């Protein structure tokens, strides 16, 4: 379910929610939990991170790889200084929802 997940950061939330539902269903089956069981507790019990968190991690990992590979065509884009305006808009090399999805705070 994580294959290509770094490219899903720009996907509609409804599409990623479908994947989350599949994972939640798998957790319920694996743990023998009822439908009313809290998802967070099932993830803790199964020692599984939420898909959204794993997608963010994969995206950051991919970003760092591309930034460090000097022979990659996107390397120069990552090295360019990107400017933001006073409202804190995102740099122009990324779609706005991409940056919002990978914030870590």
Per-residue model confidence as pLDDT tens digits over 82-93: 444 444 554 444
Contact at 8 Å (CB) between 101 and 8? no
Q: Each residue of 11-29: pLDDT tens digit?
A: 788 888 898 999 999 999 9
Give the integer Cα–Cα distance in Å for 30 and 24: 10
Q: Each residue of 65-74: pLDDT tens digit?
A: 877 888 877 7
Give the pLDDT band of residue 31 (cuts 50, 70, 90): very high
Q: What is the pLDDT of residue 88?
A: 52
What ranges in 32-102 are assigned the alpha helix state H? 39-46, 51-68, 75-79, 96-101
Q: What is the pLDDT of residue 80?
A: 63
Give residue 79's Cα distance to chain centre: 22
Q: What is the pLDDT of residue 83?
A: 43
């Amino acid at each position: 379910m994580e294959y290509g997940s770094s490219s899903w950061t720009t996907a509609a939330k409804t599409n990623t929610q479908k994947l989350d539902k599949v994972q939640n269903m798998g957790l319920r089956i694996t743990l023998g939990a009822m439908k009313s069981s809290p998802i967070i507790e099932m993830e803790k019990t199964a020692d599984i991170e939420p898909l959204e968190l794993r997608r963010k991690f994969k995206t950051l990992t991919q970003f760092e790889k591309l930034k460090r590979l000097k022979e990659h065509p996107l390397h120069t884009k990552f090295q360019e200084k990107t400017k933001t305006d006073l409202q804190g808009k995102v740099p122009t090399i990324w779609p706005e929802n991409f940056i919002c999805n990978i914030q870590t705070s």
